[in-house]
Amino acid sequence: LVPKIVEGQAAVHRCSASVDFMEETMRPYPAVVNAKGMYAHAKEVAERLLGEGNVRVAPQLMGAEDFGFYAQRMAGAFFTIGVGNESTMEQLRTTHSPYFVIDEDALPVGAAFHAAVAIEYMEKHASA
């Protein structure tokens, strides 16, 4: 359907166009699906480390993410760390913007969170 629409719109303007989704040469990215247990674990660790009011569920997106490949092989949970500071930064930009800037004070918090998720998971499952 998409190729027909693109080609038709181009023809109306006396142009030509083609669409190539690279289905033959590019492996499609799988959806990122959080494992329920890993999601619950990471959320619990985050709430204990950062405070319940500082943990939010992000809206679902349709973007592609490499993590989808990892999550097919093992239980995982995809999470992001807020790296914007509304009180010190003029405007917050998305990660794929050429104007994206982070508040580097958030990096040690993110590192501590990642480490806590891993350490507490290993402690819970050490006997298994």
Instruction: Look at residue 128 in the predicted model and tell me its pLDDT.
Output: 62
Question: Rounded to a whole number, what is the distance in angstroms from the first to the last CA of the chain?
Answer: 51
Q: What is the pLDDT of residues 86-101, one digit of tens each?
A: 777 777 787 788 988 8
pLDDT value for 27: 76
d(CA 4, CA 57) in angstroms, rounded, equals: 38
SS3 at position 57:
coil
Do the beta carbons of residue 51 and residue 63 sit within 8 Å? no
Average of pLDDT values for 59-64?
80
Q: Which helix (H) or strand (E) holds 48?
A: helix 36-50
Collect all residues with Cβ–Cβ distance below 8 Å to 114 and sequence separation of at least 6. Answer: none
Q: Name the amino acid, one letter, at 26.
A: M
